[in-house]
Amino acid sequence: MQAHFTTLYFTIALVVFCILLSAFWFDRSTPKTDKVSWALVFLGAAFWFVVLPLSGIEISRKFLKIKPHTPNRSKSNSHAS
C-alpha cells in the first residue's frame, strides 16, 4: 500500500516538475542562469501538495475576479437642463 502512495507522489511530482520546467524554460524574462529560479522549480515539484492547491486558488481568483461596478452615465444626465 505504501508503494502505491510513493508511486503516486513521484508521478505527480514528475508531472508538476515538467509543467514548471516548461513554464520556466519558455519564460523570456527570467535568465536560465538564475539559481533561485531553478531552486523554485525543484522545490515546487517536491512540495506539489502545497503548490497545486495554492495555484488553483490563485487561478480561480483571477478568473472569478469581479470588476468594480462603475455607474453608467446616461446622455440625459450629461447635458444641462
Identity of the amino acid at 45: A
Which grid coordinates belong to 78? 450629461
Q: CB within 8 A of 40, min separation 6: which ones?
A: 20
Per-residue pLDDT, 1 = 75
CB atoms within 10 A of CB 62: 8
| More reliable by pLDDT, 69 or 7 | 7
Write out pLDDT tens, residues 18-67: 999 999 999 999 899 999 999 999 999 999 999 889 888 888 888 888 65
Using CA atoms, how far apart are residues 81 and 78, in angstroms rounded to an integer? 9
Residue 68: pLDDT over 70:
no
Residue 75: pLDDT over 60:
no
- Give the global pTM: 0.64
